[in-house]
Amino acid sequence: MIQAIGLTSKPRRGAPPAVADLTFDIRPGEVTGLLGPAGSGKSTVVRLLLGLQSGRGATLVDGRPLHELAGPARAVGAVLGDVPGHPGRTARSHLRMLCAAHGLRVARADDLLESVGLAEVADRRLGTYSLGMDRRLAFAVALLPDPHALVLDDPVRDLPPREAAWMHALVRRHASAGGAVLLTGRDAGALARTADRVVALADGRIVADQTAAVFAGTRLRPHVAVRSPYAQRLAGLLAEDGAEVVAAGGSRIAVYGATAAAVGEVAYRHGILLHQLADETAADAAQDAVQAPEDADRQPSPTPRNRPSPHRTQHRPLHPVRYELRRCFGVRTPWLPAAAALAASVLCALLLARGGAAHASPLRLLSGWPAALPLPAAAVGAGALGALSYGQEFAYPALTPGFGPEPRAARLLAAKLAVSGALALGLAALAALLNSAALRVALGPGRAPDPMALSATTAGWAALAVGCAWTGVLAACAFRTTALGLSAVLSVPLLVAPGVRALLGGSAGRQFLDAGGALWSLLSGASRADDRAALAALRSAAQPLFVAMALSLSGLVIAYVAGALRGRRRGRRSTPVRSGGAVRIEGEEG
């Protein structure tokens, strides 16, 4: 069973909280309907319940806070609107990618595509899906880890009746199998037919918590809506005449078994002022049911208000490398910058050959790096691939922060660094081979650099490409966008390197090289040939660009670690503690 206890959103500027002190249960084997008009706070309740929005209160699953569970997505599946998948990815690829994140077998994705009726269109791209197909895929994503409970935020909104009926049938089937379901909606009639219990909201508060049968019997019959400052007196007079009167809260009553004309005559005879007198149909009653300020059937809250939400536990993907490979190779986007980088690299190598290759260093020839450019084209391409790894993660958030595997988990970051580093090495190798071939054609045999013979130069070129890729990954992780990740890569030669050049210029640079050479000779005892290779490598490493790259990477790693430690300290300060059968929060109430 899921218990929502005292859910309260943060107050808005100059306005009360959108949701205040909500307490209700989502019971196994039942569909609980959360009813309310637009703006009543249904979506806020769902996000607070799942811990996706900061606020106060607690969500308990079988007595345990939701985010203390090892895998919250395995306990509760959620449909919060359209699937935030990459439009160029297929449905099959999307689900298989999530299977890796949840540690599930690939066949699970195919089984779910069959069960939600998407098997025939599983290899179509998400950008071509209709609204109904997208909602079916959202159900498949929610059901992927085989959760016991489902939380569905108005999944039939804007759907045609046939698709809406299919959604409701799926919800009933899950509850009949023993699962717990929370279903939000605006249509009181449809919700009463599907749900076992209806919780009605108005202005962020619960105004009714009834069984569906009671709700339909008292709220969905045609009646006369009356509002008067003397509603209680009028209710007594109408009851004496044989009408059924239900208090709708405050100065409102609902009169069944009488016409508006008859109610008006009784009020006129007894001098009772009326502010509203109208016949209402079932649809009008549904709107009235959720706008009443209070209700006699409302359940009192057993818990105090202003209880902070439990802290979020970091949930890491179970197979991060497999997930990252499926994420990277499931769309065409990464191949475009890679192909463009290789083409630009070859073009730059030919320009170098035409402009005088004799004066260019082996590194510039091998990488196709004219002096006018801050970085080789292939290095920029490697940085773009690294930035895309996290830029797409946040642009199309298949992994929901705070609920399910975390996109910034350390294991996933390590997987992205490993995959982007391997791609950068492959891109650097292809660029070196293509550039050498182009220079061999342009300059003739024997005058083009040989990547196999230039070990130190080749190693420096590989290190530069990998450094650019890793800078893109870490910067995009910090800034959450591909553009800023790539900007961080370009800032290394344009901003950081000039400062390093000023710092290491002159005697400081020579001392750095001399100390490195002495240390290598002392530790290795290698031959003179090895010494020359090592000194060449040290000389390359001492270049301002490489030092700037190392400093930038170190700074980004320190920023990531500091952010992770700060998040853990914040979590420890708000750790929920079991106390007397309730949840008590120790520490700050921020």
Cα–Cα distance measured from residue 56 to residue 65, given in angstroms and rounded to the nearest whole number: 13
Q: Outline where DSSP puts E strands in 160-269.
A: 180-185, 197-202, 205-211, 223-227, 244-249, 252-256
Flag whether pLDDT at 138 surpasses 60.
Answer: yes
At 117 the pLDDT is 92
Under 8 Å between Cβ of 75 and 147: yes
**Between helices 320-329 and 377-395, what is the axis angle to 10°?**
110
Stretch 185-198: mean pLDDT: 88
Cα–Cα distance measured from residue 411 to residue 423, given in angstroms and rounded to the nearest whole number: 18
At 107 the pLDDT is 93
At 422 the pLDDT is 96
Cα–Cα distance measured from residue 343 to residue 435, given in angstroms and rounded to the nearest whole number: 10
Rounded alpha-carbon distances, angstroms, from residue 59 to 6, 24, 315, 365: 9, 10, 17, 61
Under 8 Å between Cβ of 448 and 349: no
When the pLDDT of each residue in the chain is averaged and rounded to a whole number, the result is 81
The residues facing 184 across adjacent strands are: 34
Residue-wise DSSP of 324-349: HHHHHHTSSTTHHHHHHHHHHHHHHH
Stretch 499-514: mean pLDDT: 56
The most distant pair of C-alpha atoms in the chain lies apart, rounded to whole Å, by 117
Label residue 249 by pLDDT band (50, 70, 90).
Answer: low
Under 8 Å between Cβ of 182 and 213: no
Under 8 Å between Cβ of 214 and 180: no
Cα–Cα distance measured from residue 556 to residue 566, given in angstroms and rounded to the nearest whole number: 15
With a pLDDT cut of 90, the percent of the chain lying above it is 43
At 511 the pLDDT is 44
Provide long-range contacts, Cβ within 8 A and 24+ apart, for 241-249.
241/266, 246/218, 247/296, 248/288, 248/292, 248/295, 249/207, 249/292, 249/293, 249/294, 249/295
Q: What is the 3-state secondary structure (H, E, C) of 32-52?
A: EEEECCCCCCHHHHHHHHHCC
Q: Which residues contact 344 (CB under 8 A, 6 or more apart)?
A: 368, 377
Between 152 and 501, the higher pLDDT residue? 152
Residue 186 phi/psi, 5-degree rounding, is -110, -20
With a pLDDT cut of 70, the percent of the chain lying above it is 81
Cα–Cα distance measured from residue 135 to residue 138, given in angstroms and rounded to the nearest whole number: 5
Tokens of 191: 């919700």
At 488 the pLDDT is 92
Label residue 383 by pLDDT band (50, 70, 90).
Answer: very high
45-82 per-position pLDDT tens digit:
999 999 888 888 999 999 898 878 888 888 999 998 88
Under 8 Å between Cβ of 370 and 456: no
Residue-wise DSSP of 85-126: --TTSBHHHHHHHHHHHHT--THHHHHHHHHTT-GGGTTSBG
Q: Which domains does the chain carry?
A: 2-216 (3.40.50.300), 223-280 (3.30.70), 320-492 (no CATH)
Return the top range by mean pLDDT from 122-126, 212-216, 360-364, 436-440: 122-126
The residue assigned the tokens 């490398």 is 321
At 281 the pLDDT is 59
